[in-house]
């Protein structure tokens, strides 16, 4: 078992896609040679957001919708850390949707993992932003009216640094995506198709399995326009893999360059020079 798995009792329904995701993420972390002490997982709230608690690393229990700004804050102070924000589609795309947009714009070196089950699991089955139109639930008895949200298309339209789609039924593919996303220098978004066996009877394991396919070798993830087109593919066929990536300068590098220092934690000689003229009495 991966050293990143702990013994905390898991509170997910039997058969939930989250189990595979948890295993694949823990294995990806250990295969990358990371130590638990170097990793911070920031949770939102939801079934998905329980995952960080089951992983043996530093955990910051965020709140519903806000895991991205919390992760941003942690990483801004200590850019050496591997910071991962992890939550569900409701949390990341609904309650916290605005934060996602602005994180893409700033490009902090964090990874955002979204367990996308196209439903609100923890609160017992209401439609989420990624639920299909006409999805029937306890609070949408006539079916949802809104069209569903397309996170990957949104991210590419904003020239995100890295975005991929995985599926909890594709172990090797998902692990490889996790590894690439975590190693990526810059903002990386991973949308994971994660069947909720209890509240989503439409987008089941079989529904996904019949539609997903890996992006072919010759696919070029560096062309924004063709990647955008690819990101619109949803329905009969759903592509898996790294859909778009673009090497860009990251937030912490840009800000420290402006300040002339390496981090916020250790006062450097540069820090002294900023105040040199004023000779402040730090003693």
Partner 1 sequence: MKKILMKGNDAVAEAAIQAGCDLYFGYPITPQTEISEYLSLRMPEEGKVFFQAESEIASIYMVYGAAAAGKRVMTSSSGPGISLKQEGISYLASAELPAVIVNMSRGGPGLGNIQPSQSDYFQAVKGGGHGDYKVIVLGPSTVQELVDLTYLAFYLADKYRNPVIILGDGMLGQMMEPVVFNKPDFPPLPAKDWAITGKDGRERQYILCFDLDPRGLEQFNNKIFKKYQKIEQEEIRYEVFGEDKPEMLLVGYGTVARILKSVVREAKDLGIRLALLRPITLYPFPSAIIQKLAQQAGRVFDVEMNMGQMVEDVKLAVNGAVPVHFYGRSGGMIPSVEDTLKRIRDILGK
Contact set with ligand SF4 (CB under 6 A): 12-13, 16, 18, 47, 117, 121, 196-199
CA distance 199 to 55: 25
123 binds, among ligand SF4, ligand TPP, Mg ion, none (CB under 5 to 8 A by kind): ligand TPP
Least Cα distance to 260 among 250, 274, 280 occurs for 274
Q: Which stretch binds ligand TPP (CB under 6 A): 44-52, 70-78, 142-150, 157-165?
A: 44-52
CA distance 55 to 234: 31
Q: Does 126 bind partner 1 (CB under 8 A)?
A: yes
Q: Does 169 bind ligand TPP (CB under 6 A)?
A: no
89 binds, among partner 1, ligand SF4, Mg ion, none (CB under 5 to 8 A by kind): Mg ion
Binding mask 34-73 for partner 1 (x = CB under 8 A): -----------x---------------x-xxx--------
Q: Decide if 69 contacts 99 (C-beta within 8 A).
A: yes
Q: Which of 141, 235, 280, 281 binds partner 1 (CB under 8 A)?
A: 141
What residues numbered 83-112 form the site for Mg ion, per CB under 5 A? 88-90
Q: Among residues 92 and 182, whose Cβ is nearest to partner 1?
A: 92
Q: Among residues 124 and 229, whose Cβ is nearest to partner 1?
A: 124
Q: Among residues 109 and 137, whose Cβ is nearest to ligand TPP?
A: 137
N residues, the chain:
283
Angle at 188 between CA 108 and CA 34, to 5 degrees: 90
241 bridge partner residues: 165
Q: Does 168 bind Mg ion (CB under 5 A)?
A: no
Q: Which of 128, 161, 168, 231 binds ligand TPP (CB under 6 A)?
A: 128
127 binds, among partner 1, Mg ion, ligand TPP, none (CB under 5 to 8 A by kind): partner 1
Q: Does 46 bind ligand TPP (CB under 6 A)?
A: yes
Question: What is the contact surface with ligand TPP in residues (CB under 6 A)?
Answer: 45-48, 64, 87-91, 115, 117, 119-123, 128
């Amino acid at each position: 078992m991966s050293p990143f798995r702990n013994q905390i009792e898991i509170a997910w329904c039997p058969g939930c896609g989250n189990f595979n995701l948890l295993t694949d993420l823990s294995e990806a972390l250990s295969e990358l040679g990371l130590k638990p002490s170097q990793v911070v997982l920031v949770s939102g709230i939801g079934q998905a957001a329980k995952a960080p608690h089951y992983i043996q690393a530093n955990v910051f229990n965020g709140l519903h919708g806000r895991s991205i700004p919390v992760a941003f804050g942690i990483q801004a102070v200590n850019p050496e850390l591997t910071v991962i924000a992890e939550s569900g589609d409701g949390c990341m795309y609904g309650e916290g949707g605005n934060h996602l947009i602005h994180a893409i714009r700033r490009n902090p070196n964090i990874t955002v993992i979204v367990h996308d089950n196209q439903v609100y699991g923890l609160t017992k089955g209401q439609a989420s932003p990624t639920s299909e139109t006409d999805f029937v639930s306890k609070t949408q008895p006539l079916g949802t009216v809104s069209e569903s949200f397309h996170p990957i298309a949104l991210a590419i339209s904003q020239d995100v640094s890295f975005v991929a789609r995985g599926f909890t039924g594709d172990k090797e593919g998902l692990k490889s995506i996790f590894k690439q996303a975590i190693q990526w220098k810059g903002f990386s978004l991973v949308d994971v198709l994660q069947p909720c066996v209890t509240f989503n009877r439409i987008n089941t394991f079989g529904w996904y399995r019949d539609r997903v396919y890996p992006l072919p070798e010759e696919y070029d993830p560096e062309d924004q326009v063709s990647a955008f087109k690819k990101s619109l593919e949803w329905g009969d066929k759903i592509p898996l893999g790294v859909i778009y990536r673009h090497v860009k300068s990251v937030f912490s590098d840009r800000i420290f360059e402006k300040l002339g220092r390496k981090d916020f934690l250790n006062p450097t000689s540069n820090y002294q020079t900023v105040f040199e003229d004023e000779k402040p009495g730090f003693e």
